[in-house]
Chain A
Amino acid sequence: MNEREDLIFNINSQCGLTFPEFENTGSQNDIPEKFLRKSALEINNAGEFDVVRHFTRLSRQNHSVDVGFYPLGSCTMKYNPKINETICSMDEFTRVHPLLPASFTQGNLEIMWELGEALKDITGMDGVTLQPAAGAHGEFAGILMIRAYHIDRGDKRATILIPDSAHGTNPSSVAMCGYSVKEIKSTKDGTIDMDDLKEKLTTDVAGLMITNPNTLGLFETDILKIAEMVHSVGALLYNDGANLNAILGKCRPGDIGFDISHINLHKTFSTPHGGGGPGSGPLTVKKHLVEYLPLPIIEKDKEKYSMRWDKEPSIGKVSSFYGNFGVLVRALAYIKALGADGLKKVSETAVLNANYLKEHLKKYYKLAFDKTCMHEFVLSGFEKDSSVHTIDIAKRLLDYGYHAPTIYFPLIVKEAIMIEPTETESLKSMDEFIEIMIKIHEERKNNPELLHNAPCNTIVSRLDEVKAIKQPDVCWNK
């Protein structure tokens, strides 16, 4: 294993990047004294080669998709095609200033238009915005659109309903838009409790926000009925598209009653996660929400593309400019590479892989809902009379060179272990993972200490998170 790398601030070599004094006529106004920085920066210099070594060494301390399997449920850690990186790095895209006139940026606008059309097509919707920078940002914009829709109709509603299996971003996005959240229970089968929904679905409800397939990897089979109930009280149905990877070419949210859906391009459409971002969270909407989309709107007239900025009743802007354009380029390249058949193959393979893993692993770990799953499934790390917890299993996986699955989520499954293989893992890779999971199961029985102390093969062992809070050190100081 690699050695720990010292902080960049402990290097002190010749400065890697300086700019010479500008030769000029000396006529320039100096900045008045009162604006100048009074204390010198307390950091060192580092030369180019030192910087390169430092960050290259750091990079080797990361797990990444290109190195190994990430069975990370709800995160869709699929292969990020290299060609997409080549394409989005073309100078013609990277050096374009966002305030250049449309006549200079027809290629960029066409890319955005084409991606928007493709996403509308894939989700069965009528309008689109590419502006949100991430899934949660899309949720925020989408809920504001639902709010604007009701206000336009003189309809004051204060509540959004969310199932108890939802991602944490759902309730927090809703709260940021000024709504209160009411939780809908799940049944013992893992889907929405229709009686509970019926009870809570009043005319005070602005919308129901669900993830379909849900975070348990199950398709909401009552979705048509749910949509009918939601619409009958004048509320709208929001789809958290985090799990779109399971239904590409099989089902379109717009066809089964959803009014609005966000899409995570960094999940379903293969753009890299970048260690936490940038992502991209476009929204697609039905006709009755189109006028509330954020500005500007990309328009096409014959073969000319432009941006429309007129205001009312749009919710306004959510980003400084038009969204994470570089991510949009990658996503369109991915869609073009696959075509409709390729997209369908994505969901078919992702679902086949998940069921294959599920049927193998359920012999060793308790399966939360024993039925056919979509792209992911949830096990429980809980075992009666065992001192081993889900966290121990997850940490032991790190020792074997795997990233951990999503753990302790969804909250409604005790000691949850949520696994999503995606369509890009091979049979060999999955068989190896199964073998390791069986081995860990045996270790759980025979050598629980090993699991409690895991990981032991990584560059650091379990970290003291309590100390990190009690004695906060979030900034290097001399």
Chain B
Amino acid sequence: MDYTLLTDQDKEKMLAFLNIDCVEELFTDIAKTQGKCEINLPSDGKSENELIKMFRGFAEKNIDISKMPNFMGGGAYDHFIPSVVDSISSRSDFNTAYTPYQPEVSQGTLQAIYEFQSFISHLTGMEVSNASMYDGASAMAEGCLMMLRQNRKKKKLLLASNVNSLWKQVVYTYLTGTEYEIIELPADDGMISSDVLEKMLDDEISVFAYSQPNAFGYLEDSEKIGEILKEKGVYHVASVDPLMLGVIETPATYGADVIVGEGQSLGNYLNYGGPYLGFFATTKKNIRKMPGRVVGRTVDSKGRSGFVLTYQTREQHIRREKATSNICSNQALCALRACVYMSLLGKDGLVSIGKNVIQKSHYMYDKLIESGKVEPVNSEASFFKEFPVRLPIAASAFTSIMRQKGILAGVPAWFVCADSDKNTVLITVTEKRTKEEIDDAVLKITSLF
């Protein structure tokens, strides 16, 4: 099967017009260079019917988890996705459109991005947001880079060691070829210590980056962190869980210069790790230093309101090696999904989902701790939707046993928390989990030990 449309007669007509006998004559430049070109793929393609069967075959090789309540997190979360999100994002007017470089025929995409930016700005409390980054990790890396470039003398990034370790690896990769150095701030019982932070902020550190909540799920004292950074004159980069922001205070209130995060939770499927989207928000004064596309509202030649890609002189297609980032394609369709999702939630939904998640996750946590079978990692710490507990056995053995019992009971903490022991598991409770599922999981977990 192929997707071309030319008939044999069409081709003959075209070849005659071009005054050649066969299409090979158009490839003489290549033929001079490469002799025979051999591809080992089967020469025949599949019909649509065969394709469906083939991919159903792949699908069936994944273990069926449809009936297994999902308590896994670690950077990707099983939140509820309303049908409206799929319905809108599968409209080919959005899905098969190009980047909106021709604004007169792209107002739909442009307005949706403007609305996405506005939602992100309001949630994070920052003045400007871009149109999306590849994912949370690359957003954090580029956020750190943008702030590092603003200090000519200090060249060091202090990175909280309790940032998701998969993300940290991306931050290290992004800084590989630069003049900047990364120092890690150790975490105590899963938390940043303000004393240690204060001590480690020496004269060479220009940026501090952490996540709220951190990789363990614990909420950091953003207020204290903000105070210390302000006093020391160090730039403040924070990643946040967007779904907590209806209820939990944003680090913007405490002086954050950049707020980034993973937007998968906003109406995007788990998809085995992608496509997701990173969001990136900052203050107005950084608008010319931001990476990525930005949409602005303006007027047309007749004075009517309309939207355009703006501040393009920051970007690679104009500024080339002096661009603020090399990003071109972003995750626009995922951002559209996030925008539709946030539109459905609105002011009340954003508060209610935050509360629901807090109530359910704390209900499960309390039941587990009350049982006396598992231990808190840090009994003083607060959390939003994800929490660690210490088990009498290795976390990977535990999650494996629980899968046999039909429950995706969490993620071994050492997968994503650099300083975690082998016996700690991260458990996430989203609004999707019912009381029955939670009670059943608690029963099955506690009866193990």
Contact = CB atoms under 8 A, between A and B. Distances in A.
A470 B293 CA distance: 17
A338 interface: yes
Contact of A276 (B64, B98, B297, B408): B98
A96 B345 contact: no
A52 B99 contact: no
Interface string B111-123: 1111101110111
Interface in B2-35: 2-7, 10-11, 13-15, 17-18, 23, 26-30, 32-34
A173 B324 CA distance: 10
Contact of A345 (B2, B14, B273, B360): B2
Contacts of B435: 22-24
Nearest to A303: B61
A322 B63 contact: no
Interface in A100-116: 100-101, 103-108, 110-111
A342 B1 contact: yes
A45 B306 CA distance: 23
B177 interface: yes
B371 interface: no
A31 B3 CA distance: 56
A176 B366 CA distance: 47
A462 B169 CA distance: 44
Interface string B308-332: 1011000111111111011111111
Interface string A389-411: 00000110010000110000100
Given A8-B115, A80-B96, A17 B349 contact: yes
Given A37-B247, A44-B346, A276-B332, A51 B26 contact: no
B304 interface: yes
A340 B326 contact: no
A458 B104 CA distance: 6
B111 to A, nearest CB: 6
Contacts of A384: none
Contacts of B104: 395, 398, 455, 458-463
Given A96-B272, A467-B298, A31 B135 contact: no
B225 to A, nearest CB: 12
Given A4-B304, A147-B177, A474 B129 contact: yes
A278 B46 contact: no
Contact of A46 (B1, B111, B247, B344): B344
Contacts of A101: 400
B107 interface: yes
Interface stretch (A194-202, A229-237, A324-332, A443-451): A324-332
B87 interface: yes
Interface class of chain A by DSSP? loop
A463 B308 CA distance: 7
Nearest to A65: B96
Contacts of A333: 51, 55
Interface residues of B, number: 202
A315 B329 CA distance: 22
A277 B105 contact: no
B321 to A, nearest CB: 4
A230 to B, nearest CB: 15
Given A111-B58, A134-B329, A339-B44, A317 B39 contact: no
A139 B94 contact: no
B329 A356 contact: no
Contacts of B408: 97, 100
B231 interface: no
Interface string A82-101: 01011101111111111111
Nearest to B307: A463
B170 to A, nearest CB: 5
A177 B325 CA distance: 11
B416 to A, nearest CB: 8
A96 B349 contact: no
A386 interface: no
B203 interface: no
A31 B382 CA distance: 6
Contacts of A273: 96-99, 329
A95 B346 CA distance: 25
B41 A144 contact: no
Interface string B325-358: 1111111111010001001111111111101101
A241 to B, nearest CB: 14
A59 B91 contact: yes
Contacts of A469: 296, 310-311
B134 A37 contact: no
B40 A121 contact: yes
A77 B92 CA distance: 13
B362 A28 contact: yes
Contacts of A279: 329
Contact of A98 (B176, B270, B295): B270
Interface string A341-356: 1111110110111011
B349 A21 contact: no
A425 to B, nearest CB: 7
A351 B25 CA distance: 11
A316 B172 contact: yes
B72 A336 contact: no
A408 to B, nearest CB: 10
Nearest to B431: A19
A286 to B, nearest CB: 16
A169 B330 CA distance: 13
A351 B29 CA distance: 12
B341 to A, nearest CB: 8
A66 interface: yes
A453 B255 CA distance: 46
A474 B280 CA distance: 13
14 contacts: A19-B355, A28-B358, A37-B246, A38-B253, A43-B122, A58-B112, A133-B275, A135-B328, A168-B323, A176-B174, A251-B30, A462-B301, A475-B118, A475-B121
Given A15-B345, A137-B134, A275-B336, 16 more contacts: A32-B382, A45-B349, A58-B111, A63-B102, A72-B98, A137-B327, A147-B177, A168-B315, A181-B320, A277-B275, A277-B329, A277-B330, A320-B137, A341-B45, A356-B17, A403-B102
Task: Please name the 8 residue pairs, one residue from A and one from B, whose CB atoms are nearest each other, closest first.
Answer: A321-B273, A178-B177, A274-B333, A98-B273, A28-B362, A107-B61, A276-B332, A45-B346
